[in-house]
Structure 1
Amino acid sequence: MESYRAAVAQMNSQPDFNYNLEQAYEEVRKAAKGGARLVALPENFVFLGSLEARMEQAEEIGKRTPDFLKDTAQEFGIYLLGGSYPTPAGNGKVYNCSLLVDPEGKTLARYNKIHLFDVELPEGESYRESDYVESGKNRPVVSRAGEIGNIGMSICYDLRFPELYRSLTERQADVLCVPSAFTATTGRDHWKPLLRARAIENTAYVLAPAQTGTHGKKRTTHGHSLIVDPWGEVLADAGKEVGIATAVIDPSRLKEVRRRIPSLDHRKIF
């Protein structure tokens, strides 16, 4: 693996599949034009709206989104992470699926979100992801993607479960991807500290593309798509606006941090 530029795309996805595809394409185009070799899109990048509309469109979304990712990756000659999108699970629910494709349009890895967001937040804000999403039953997923390193897959709420990321680094992940639609309520206090913690404790790069702003009538997300290095330094922050943030993924930096603090070699509990 050699040094390369990575980009995290920050989007304001809506309940309009075609609009969201156009927005995603434009962000990928800008990132590729800026020299990004790996571009990561956020959770729910093709649809962020009501449960009813999501379920009605899940079959179409599940069919068209992989084609969009493959065609776009081929067009720009990049590795492309489709943060997540709904795809039918065959039991009346959907998987929250993340797909990584290579510059030839080949699928390198598929990950279905394991941890589902069932929470009660202040001021009556609540979410029940398990009402419509089937938890992924697969093991932690690491793609051995050659020139861009070993890519560990996760989605949003997974961020709160450090054992998943330790499992990814046990499988030799160099870069941990956390595409998200983090709520504004929790994002203010938890988003950056959790991402920095996952980077520090696993001495790995973290790519966290995110949603921002208001989606439909009720949902508001935090923004601040980040790229964090293995020391926990925030290399890039997209702020609150739609756009991209980029940084260089440097294997020599990864080796340096793991040499200075070889905590992965000092573990006593497995």
Structure 2
Amino acid sequence: MSAATRRVALLQMTTGIDPAANAATIVRAVEEAAEAGAAMLFTPEMSGLLDRDRARGARHIVPEAANPVLAAAREAAGRAGIWVHLGSLAVQADGTRWANRAFVIDPAGEIAARYDKIHMFDVDLASGETWRESAAYQPGEAVVTVECPLGRLGLAICYDVRFPALFEELGRLKCDVIAIPAAFTVPTGRAHWHLMQRARAVEASAFVIAAAQVGRHEDGRETYGHSLVIDPWGEVLLDMGEGGGLGFAEIDLARIAEVRAQVPSLANRRAIPTSARP
């Protein structure tokens, strides 16, 4: 392994309606990732709770300072001495709204960065599924990056992947890696998951790490899985398919400079002129 190579671990999980059980899964993953020599563990969107029954789930959604899943992940990271990207948790943001919030935790168990999902998933799918994320969650307003063992890490969550402007900004900020944790539905996953994740990696000339939810959940939903690690050229280094558990990939950070030298799209980018009005 070269000096520029880092091992990353991805947790592909089937989060349920019991935060304590989900926290136990995350803690085991932190321990196993550290034992396997990973520099950083990535978990999916909504790692702490997935419950489409908002009335039932609401009693578990508390401010981050009181969130037991976050506390367990921080303690485990500190004990194992590993960086953890907690893909996201539902947390109380103010008196009436929640936030879909990602956390980057350092090896001392401290929170190094937070990111609130910017784009809300409000859709009616042909399958009959209807989702209105904005009915309960307030959107984030800030683009977030953080320095970690993988270089500059840019943060996004799930539905954000459909909005290139966010990734144009992360590319402008010269992110080395972009995390896109997700709980993708099966119909949209089959159609667009691999396509969009590869596109985001190519556009930003960066690694993309996308830890995902998978399978049939306690609340009745079904998620697509296929957690991915993609290199800056768009090559898939890891695809976890439809199984649960930990996956590992080796990422060579020297590959970033190679790709940016070969296709210098970030350096060649120009502002798009405003179209003339008739």
Tell me the TM-score normalized by structure 1.
0.95
Q: Secondary structure at the match of 1:264?
A: helix
Q: Per-residue deviation at 1:51?
A: 1.3
Residue 124 of structure 2 corresponds to residue 120 of structure 1: yes
Bigger shift: 186-195 or 69-78?
69-78
**RMSD of Structure 2 on Structure 1 (CA):** 1.5
C-alpha offsets along residues 204-227 of structure 1, whole Å, 9 cap, x if unaligned? Answer: 000000000011242100000000
Which of 62, 66, 72 is residue 70 of structure 2 equivalent to?
Answer: 66
Residue 236 of structure 2 corresponds to residue 224 of structure 1: no
Bigger shift: 52-61 or 32-41?
52-61
Q: Per-residue deviation at 1:249?
A: 2.1
Q: Per-residue deviation at 1:244?
A: 1.8
Residue 96 of structure 2 corresponds to residue 92 of structure 1: yes
Q: Secondary structure at the match of 2:143?
A: coil
Bigger shift: 50-59 or 177-186?
50-59
Which of 15, 22, 36 is residue 13 of structure 1 equivalent to?
Answer: 15
Distance 1:217 1:71, change over 3 A: closer
Structure 1, unpaired ranges of 5+ = none
Which of 239, 242, 255 is residue 240 of structure 1 equivalent to?
Answer: 242
Alignment correspondent of 2:201: 199
Q: Distance in 2 between matches of 1:217 and 1:55?
A: 14
Q: Per-residue deviation at 1:193?
A: 0.5
Q: Per-residue deviation at 1:35?
A: 1.2
Moved over 3 A (4+): none
Which of 38, 47, 50 is residue 49 of structure 2 equivalent to?
Answer: 47
Q: Distance in 2 between matches of 1:266 and 1:59?
A: 45
Q: Per-residue deviation at 1:60?
A: 7.0
Q: Secondary structure at the match of 1:210?
A: coil
Q: Secondary structure at the match of 2:74?
A: helix
- Greater Rg over alpha carbons, structure: 2
C-alpha offsets along residues 13-62 of structure 1, whole Å, 9 cap, x if unaligned? Answer: 10111111111222222222221111001001110112112222101775
Alignment correspondent of 1:179: 181
Alignment correspondent of 1:78: 82
> Do 1:227 and 1:246's aligned partners in 2 also have CA atoms closer than 8 Å?
no
Q: Distance in 2 between matches of 1:214 and 1:160?
A: 24
> Do 1:6 and 1:38's aligned partners in 2 also have CA atoms closer than 8 Å?
yes
Q: Per-residue deviation at 1:234?
A: 0.5
Letter of the aligned partner of 1:99 in structure 2?
F
Q: Secondary structure at the match of 1:85?
A: strand
Q: Per-residue deviation at 1:107?
A: 1.3
Structure 2, unpaired ranges of 5+ = 273-278
Alignment correspondent of 2:275: none
Bigger shift: 214-223 or 150-159?
214-223
Alignment correspondent of 1:110: 114
Q: Distance in 2 between matches of 1:223 and 1:257?
A: 28
Q: Distance in 2 between matches of 1:218 and 1:64?
A: 24
Kindly indicate which of the two structures has a greater share of residues assigned to helix: 1
C-alpha offsets along residues 214-246 of structure 1, whole Å, 9 cap, x if unaligned? Answer: 112421000000000001010011111111221
Q: What is the percent sequence identity of the aligned residues?
A: 38
Q: Per-residue deviation at 1:69?
A: 2.1
> Do 1:9 and 1:28's aligned partners in 2 also have CA atoms closer than 8 Å?
no
